[in-house]
Structure 1
Amino acid sequence: MLEHGGRLRAAAQHYGIPLSDWLDLSTGIAPEPWPVPSIPLDAWARLPEEDDGLAEAACACYGAAHALPVAGSQAAIQALPALFAAGRVGVLEPSYAEHAQAWQSAGHQLIRLAGGEIEARLDELDVLVLANPNNPTGERFEPSRLLDWQARLARCGGCLLVDEAFMDSTPEDSLAAHSHRPGLVVLRSFGKFFGLAGVRLGFMLAEPALLARLHERLGPWTVSGPARVLGRQALGPASGVARERRAGQLQAAGQRLAGMLDAHGLAPDGGTALFQWVRTPAAAELHDFLARQGILVRLFETPASLRFGLPAGEIGWQRLAQALADYQKETT
Structure 2
Amino acid sequence: MRTDAASATDPDLRHHGDAEVRDGGLVDLAVNVRTGTPPGWLRDRLAATLADLAAYPDSGAACAAVAARHGRPPGEVLLTSGAAEAFVLLARTLRPRRAVVVHPQFTEPEAALRDAGHPVERVLLRPEDGFRLDPAAVPDDADLVVVGNPTNPTSVLHPAAALAALARPGRTLVVDEAFADTVPGEAGSLAARGDLPGLVVLRSLTKTWGLAGLRIGYLLAAEPLTAELARSQPLWPVSTPALAAAEACCTPGALAEADRAARTTAEHRAHLLAGLAAVPGVTVHGEPAASFVLVRLPGAAAVRERLRAAGFAVRRGDTFPGLGPDWLRIAVRDPATSDAFLAALTAALAEGA
Which amino acid in structure 2 is aligned with residue 178 of structure 1? R
Secondary structure at 2:203 match in 1? strand
Mapped to 1, the partners of 2:122 and 2:226 lie a distance apart of 26
1:16 matched to which residue of 2? none
Structure 2 residue 232 is matched with structure 1 residue 191: no
Pick the aligned partner of 2:257 from 215, 237, 242: 242
Shift of 1:55: 1.5
Structure 2: 5+ residue stretches without partners: 1-12, 126-132
Pick the aligned partner of 2:174 from 130, 150, 161: 161
1:233 matched to which residue of 2? 248
Cα pair 2:150 2:158 within 8 Å, conserved: yes
Structure 2 residue 60 is matched with structure 1 residue 45: no
Structure 2 residue 306 is matched with structure 1 residue 306: no
Mapped to 1, the partners of 2:261 and 2:231 lie a distance apart of 35
CA deviations over 1:226-285 (Å, ceiling 9, x no partner): 111122112212323222211211222222222222222323224333101012231101
Residue range with higher mean Cα deviation, 276-285 or 321-330: 321-330
Shift of 1:54: 0.9
2:30 matched to which residue of 1? 26
Shift of 1:331: 4.5
1:98 matched to which residue of 2? 108
TM-score, structure 1 normalization? 0.88
Structure 1: 5+ residue stretches without partners: 13-18
Secondary structure at 1:119 match in 2? helix
2:10 matched to which residue of 1? none
Cα pair 2:135 2:163 within 8 Å, conserved: no
Task: Note closer, same or farther for the CA distance 1:150–1:331 as it changes in structure 2 (3 Å cut).
Answer: same
Secondary structure at 2:44 match in 1? coil
Secondary structure at 1:176 match in 2? coil
Correspondence 1:169-318 to 2 at 5 A: 169-170=182-183, 171-179=186-194, 181-265=196-280, 266-270=282-286, 271-301=288-318, 302-304=323-325, 305-311=327-333, 316-318=337-339
Say how many residue pairs are matched. 318
User: What RMSD in Å do the two structures reach over aligned CA positions?
Assistant: 2.1
Cα pair 2:150 2:290 within 8 Å, conserved: no
Mapped to 2, the partners of 1:177 and 1:259 lie a distance apart of 34
1:55 matched to which residue of 2? 63
Cα pair 2:155 2:290 within 8 Å, conserved: no
2:143 matched to which residue of 1? 126
Task: Note closer, same or farther for the CA distance 1:123–1:319 as it changes in structure 2 (3 Å cut).
Answer: same
Task: Note closer, same or farther for the CA distance 1:251–1:9 as it changes in structure 2 (3 Å cut).
Answer: closer
Secondary structure at 1:134 match in 2? coil
Secondary structure at 2:101 match in 1? strand
Mapped to 2, the partners of 1:121 and 1:238 lie a distance apart of 39
Identical-pair percentage: 30
Cα pair 1:64 1:180 within 8 Å, conserved: no
Shift of 1:49: 0.7
2:7 matched to which residue of 1? none
Runs of 4+ in 1 over 4 A off after TM superposition: none
Task: Note closer, same or farther for the CA distance 1:240–1:105 as it changes in structure 2 (3 Å cut).
Answer: closer
Which amino acid in structure 2 is aligned with residue 27 of structure 1? V
Mapped to 1, the partners of 2:52 and 2:296 lie a distance apart of 45
Cα pair 1:69 1:204 within 8 Å, conserved: yes
Residue range with higher mean Cα deviation, 96-105 or 125-134: 96-105
2:160 matched to which residue of 1? 143
2:6 matched to which residue of 1? none
Shift of 1:130: 0.7
Task: Note closer, same or farther for the CA distance 1:8–1:307 as it changes in structure 2 (3 Å cut).
Answer: closer
Task: Note closer, same or farther for the CA distance 1:26–1:172 as it changes in structure 2 (3 Å cut).
Answer: same
